[in-house]
């Protein structure tokens, strides 16, 4: 079996940016569970936030990020992110990617919720993710091997050093494969597939978080999950994202009678932070009221938003009618695998970047269009670190017996649809102690799942993914039950206010147990320059 210097698990923007910046001196393997284009990054309608406008500055981008995330960030990481934003956009431009321009030939900068300036760059209107990802795939070096339709079901941990030294995976026929590496990077996205309503690609089900947890890594702040306010809602189901950029162009959220919903809720109205808008729409719908996005004031909407137009047409919704039925759904995970400033987890040899990592840049609620920026930033940052590490590392052949663990095939599993329904109902937009305890009790009926200490070699890919979903759901339920306040995207009906005592407390989960922790990082000594 071929040995690699680095294995990347995932195919979103963080994974592709990392792959593009790794030195071509070293053999690299990229593995994805489905196709290369089956990622949230490829679906991204919103653009990339960066302070490149004449009346903008990284300091303003910083302030907006902190405000939207309810002051729950690693402030040094936020500052580094926003300061690197303009150069990352310039780097993509220099490599041949064309961003949308206005008639004067300047970047056409859009507005989205909780931003104080127009600072969102787009490609192809609402198809930014597709254009950026296609560009990164085109520029991918030939020294990188790519395996599609492979499910990584176990990280190989050295029994003595406890270092991650490889991965075990299944191909689309169920055959097992093992690949060895000095460095393994998880870039598997978030947890949208755990919820009934979601904007995420169906393949995004929290695999990376479950893999990291089972390997002994620390998992951080899993209660903070952003629900996007506006998913197309048809026949009792959500059917695609309606980008916040539509509201940035002037669209309003209204009820069936045309009354503005957000008018008296927040000073920013329809462009309030996402957790505010999603919470209000949830309240409206829980009272049996339908919610619509009034787009009647937007000229040439088909040209500005071709992806959204196509989604609506596919579901029989007429853009010409001027109203799009919407509902909130799971969109983005702010928590995830605990990492340091370059993406190292608490397990040696294991790294995490992108949405699956808890970098601290999003706080309790991500600012719109900061996610693609995060993927670009940490992909490049980790590549610089790994290039240095691989330059000086001397790999030894692995001699480990992987056959000693017990294989168990009679574990019980829940119904996938039922799991998604319960997660949406009990760990969704508005939570309570009673419902979270009911969810936890239901999940605990599958107690063996939480300890996946047995071998999954003989399990099917479908069973393994469901095992991972249950494990990740438990991490979410535990954290949401413990945080007795409402902050950002975490809203508790029984604790409706922010509590200053919780502002710097992070909930850390690992196989060792659960810990309330105030990080050692310095939050309050950051100098922000205009």
Tokens (6 digits) for 466: 């469901």
**Which is catalytic among the residues 43, 274, 366, 487?**
274
**Distance from C-alpha of 47 to C-alpha of 43, rounded to nearest angstrom:** 11
d(CA 84, CA 452): 40
Q: Report residue 150 as tokens.
A: 């492979």
C-alpha distance across the termini of the chain, in Å: 53
Q: How far apart are CA 197 and CA 214, in angstroms?
A: 27
Angle at 373 between CA 427 and CA 522, to 5 degrees: 75
Spatial CA neighbour of 82 closest among 377, 356, 343: 377
Largest CA distance in the chain: 69
Residues 78, 504, 519, 193, Cα dihedral to 10°: -70
The conformation of residue 194, written as its DSSP 8-state character, comes to G
Q: Contact, 234 vs 325, CB < 8 A? A: yes
- Helices assigned H by DSSP within 215-273: 244-248
CA distance 135 to 42: 11
- Three-state DSSP state, 339: coil
Q: Residues with Cβ < 8 Å from 267, sequence gap 6 or more?
A: none
Both tokens of residue 334? Answer: 């702010």
Whole-angstrom CA distances from 168 to 19, 157, 311, 511 are: 20, 11, 37, 20
Q: How many other C-beta atoms can be found within 10 angstroms of the C-beta atom of residue 172?
A: 11
Query: Would you call 344 a catalytic residue per the annotation?
Result: no
Is-contact 40 12, C-beta < 8 A? yes
- Among all residues, which ones are annotated catalytic? 274
């Amino acid at each position: 079996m071929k040995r690699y210097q680095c294995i990347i698990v995932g195919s979103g923007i963080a994974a592709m940016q990392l792959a593009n910046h790794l030195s071509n001196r070293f053999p690299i393997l990229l593995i994805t569970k489905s196709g290369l284009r089956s990622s949230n990054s490829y679906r991204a309608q919103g653009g990339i936030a960066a302070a490149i406008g004449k009346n903008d500055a990284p300091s303003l981008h910083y302030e907006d990020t902190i405000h939207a995330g309810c002051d729950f960030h690693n402030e040094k990481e936020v500052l580094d992110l926003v300061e690197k934003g303009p150069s990352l956009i310039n780097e993509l431009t220099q490599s041949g990617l064309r961003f949308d321009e206005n008639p004067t030939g300047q970047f056409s900068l859009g507005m989205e919720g909780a931003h104080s300036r127009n600072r969102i760059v787009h490609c192809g209107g609402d198809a930014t993710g597709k254009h950026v990802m296609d560009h990164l795939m085109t520029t991918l070096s030939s020294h990188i091997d790519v395996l599609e339709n492979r499910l990584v079901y176990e990280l190989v941990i050295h029994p003595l050093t406890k270092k991650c030294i490889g991965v075990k995976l299944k191909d689309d026929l169920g055959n097992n494969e093992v690949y060895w590496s000095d460095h393994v990077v998880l870039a598997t996205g978030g947890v949208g597939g755990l919820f009934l309503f979601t904007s995420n690609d169906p393949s995004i089900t929290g695999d990376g978080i479950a893999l990291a947890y089972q390997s002994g890594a620390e998992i951080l702040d899993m209660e903070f999950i952003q629900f996007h306010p506006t998913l197309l809602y048809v026949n009792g189901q959500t059917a695609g994202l309606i980008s916040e950029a539509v509201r940035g162009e002037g669209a309003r959220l209204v009820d069936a009678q045309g009354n503005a919903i957000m008018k008296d809720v927040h000073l920013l109205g329809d462009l309030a932070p996402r957790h505010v808008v999603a919470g209000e729409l949830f309240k409206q719908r829980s009272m049996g009221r339908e919610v619509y996005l009034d787009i009647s004031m937007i000229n040439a909407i088909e040209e500005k938003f071709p992806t959204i137009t196509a989604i609506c047409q596919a579901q029989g919704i007429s853009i010409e009618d001027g109203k799009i039925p919407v509902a909130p759904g799971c969109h983005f995970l702010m928590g995830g695998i605990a990492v340091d400033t370059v993406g190292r987890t608490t397990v040696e040899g294991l790294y995490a970047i992108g949405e699956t990592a808890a970098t601290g840049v999003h706080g309790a609620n991500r600012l719109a269009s900061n996610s693609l920026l995060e993927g670009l930033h940490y992909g490049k940052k980790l590549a610089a670190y790994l290039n240095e590490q691989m330059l000086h590392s001397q790999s030894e052949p692995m001699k480990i017996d992987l056959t000693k663990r017990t294989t168990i095939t009679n574990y019980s599993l829940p119904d996938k649809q039922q799991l998604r329904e319960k997660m949406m109902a009990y760990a969704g937009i508005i939570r309570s102690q009673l419902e979270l305890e009911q969810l936890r009790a239901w999940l605990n009926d599958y107690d063996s799942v939480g300890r996946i200490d047995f071998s999954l070699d003989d399990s099917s890919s479908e069973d393994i993914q469901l095992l991972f979903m249950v494990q990740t759901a438990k991490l979410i339920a535990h954290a949401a039950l413990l945080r007795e306040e409402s902050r950002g995207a975490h809203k508790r009906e029984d604790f409706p206010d922010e509590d200053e005592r919780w502002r710097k407390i992070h909930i850390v989960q690992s196989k060792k147990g659960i810990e309330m922790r105030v990080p050692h990082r310095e939050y309050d000594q950051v100098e922000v320059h205009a």
